[in-house]
Amino acid sequence: MIPLAQDVLKGNTRAIARAITQIENDHPDRETLVDDLYSYGGHAVVLGLTGPPGSGKSTLLNLMIRRERALGKKVAVIAVDPSSPFSGGAILGDRLRMQRHSTDEGVFIRSMASRGHLGGVAGATGDVIKVLDAAGFDVIIIETIGVGQTEIDIVEMADVVLLVLVPGLGDEIQALKAGVMEIGDIFIINKSDREDAAKVKAEVEYVLHLKMSAEDTSTNPIVMTSALEESGLDELHTTIQTYYQNLKSDGRLEEKRKKRIAREMKLILLAKVRDRVNRQMKLDQHIDEWVEAAYQKQVKPYAFINEKLSDFFAGGV
């Protein structure tokens, strides 16, 4: 076992931070590190927290951390912002949050804004979960900014996905929700102090009802919270616990985790094949001349690529 992996297992905060940086930067030790730690994981509850901008995820997150700490649980948070080329925002958010929990050894908060390389940001998130899990955190929360496809890919690494919705973000936000409704396990209607919160709840119930009749009979709980009034947090905590226990006892947790492993395997496999193709085809070296030929309409795009590929698989190029 490499020394860094040993230090991670001891729960050393600086080692954990360094391990995550190695994953983000595709350090040569990344694979060994993750492989070394792999067999020590599997104990943490992994929560995904997502929802449209403006839904108050960060405030909610802080209250959730406080609650877990009061119960003596160690909590790690990864805030993933894949769409931001400026990492400044995420890092600033980190600092603000860190101030509150910075003296607490049982809380680890980190943002990832990099797109990563091997398996992209979802692949990196998967590896970071393995590190934090092996480091002994009881609860790992993956928070995403926004609700696009990339964010869905990330949040699906979790055991339980918490989808935060909020009143009054307009009709198009409601339409946007349709896409992410599919991935929510527990629905949080935040800012429940607002008068139209009940309407949002009714809408969610309606959509869930449609979804249920089509697919299965498992229930998706809805919890009303108000970060402002600090209400609903007890209920949220109990709901997550009950949901997780049910997942565990009826075999769905195992099923979910196997799905996650399958996704990760495919992600990494594909990334490695892509690297190999790039290298062996000398893609970076040839791409300009290929593009020029296509731009000048000297070649037809698919016929051209098919020819290059058959050369590649014939061992040539």
Give the three-class secondary structure for 295: helix
179 contributes a contact to a second copy by CB under 8 A: yes
Phi, psi (degrees; rounded to nearest 5) at 269: -55, -50
| Contact residue for a second copy among 6, 13, 25, 149 (CB under 8 A) | 149
Q: Are 142 and 154 in contact (CB under 8 A)?
A: yes
To a second copy, the closest distance from the beta carbon of 152 in angstroms equals: 7
Give the three-class secondary structure for 170: coil
What mask, x for binding a second copy by CB under 8 A, covers residues 76 to 95? Answer: -----xxxxxx--x------
| Contact residue for a second copy among 1, 273, 282, 311 (CB under 8 A) | 273
1 contributes a contact to a second copy by CB under 8 A: no
Residues 6+ apart with CB under 8 A from 109: 76, 77, 79, 94, 97, 98, 101
Taking the C-alpha atoms of residue 19 and residue 4, their distance in angstroms, rounded to an integer, is 7
Q: Are 111 and 93 in contact (CB under 8 A)?
A: yes
To a second copy, the closest distance from the beta carbon of 107 in angstroms equals: 23
| Contact residue for a second copy among 63, 98, 277, 317 (CB under 8 A) | 277
176 contributes a contact to a second copy by CB under 8 A: yes
117 contributes a contact to a second copy by CB under 8 A: no
Q: Are 227 and 192 in contact (CB under 8 A)?
A: no
Q: Which is nearer to a second copy, 53 or 212 (CB)?
A: 53
Contact window for a second copy (CB under 8 A) among 219-227, 232-240, 244-252, 264-272: 264-272
Residues 6+ apart with CB under 8 A from 35: none
Q: Which is nearer to a second copy, 47 or 145 (CB)?
A: 145
To a second copy, the closest distance from the beta carbon of 166 in angstroms equals: 10
To a second copy, the closest distance from the beta carbon of 217 in angstroms equals: 20
| Contact residue for a second copy among 147, 155, 157, 233 (CB under 8 A) | 147
Taking the C-alpha atoms of residue 254 and residue 126, their distance in angstroms, rounded to an integer, is 16
272 contributes a contact to a second copy by CB under 8 A: yes
Q: Give the burial class of 143: count Cβ atoms within 10 A of its Cβ; 0-12 exposed, 13-18 middle, 19 or more buried.
A: buried
Taking the C-alpha atoms of residue 133 and residue 45, their distance in angstroms, rounded to an integer, is 9
Instruction: Output the CA angle 32-264-46, nearest 5 degrees.
Output: 90
182 contributes a contact to a second copy by CB under 8 A: yes
Query: Which ranges of the chain would DSSP assign to H, the alpha helix?
Result: 3-9, 13-24, 30-38, 57-70, 88-101, 120-134, 149-155, 171-181, 197-214, 233-249, 252-280, 283-295, 301-313
171 contributes a contact to a second copy by CB under 8 A: yes
Sheet holding 139-144, edge to edge: 107-112, 75-80, 139-144, 45-50, 160-165, 186-189, 222-224
| Contact residue for a second copy among 103, 216, 302, 314 (CB under 8 A) | 302
To a second copy, the closest distance from the beta carbon of 186 in angstroms equals: 19
| Contact residue for a second copy among 150, 190, 225, 239 (CB under 8 A) | 150
Residues that bind a second copy (CB under 8 A): 31-32, 34-36, 38-39, 42, 53-54, 81-86, 89, 145-152, 169-173, 175-176, 178-180, 182, 254, 257-258, 261-262, 264-266, 268-270, 272-274, 276-277, 283, 287, 290-292, 294-295, 297, 300-303, 305-306, 308-309, 313
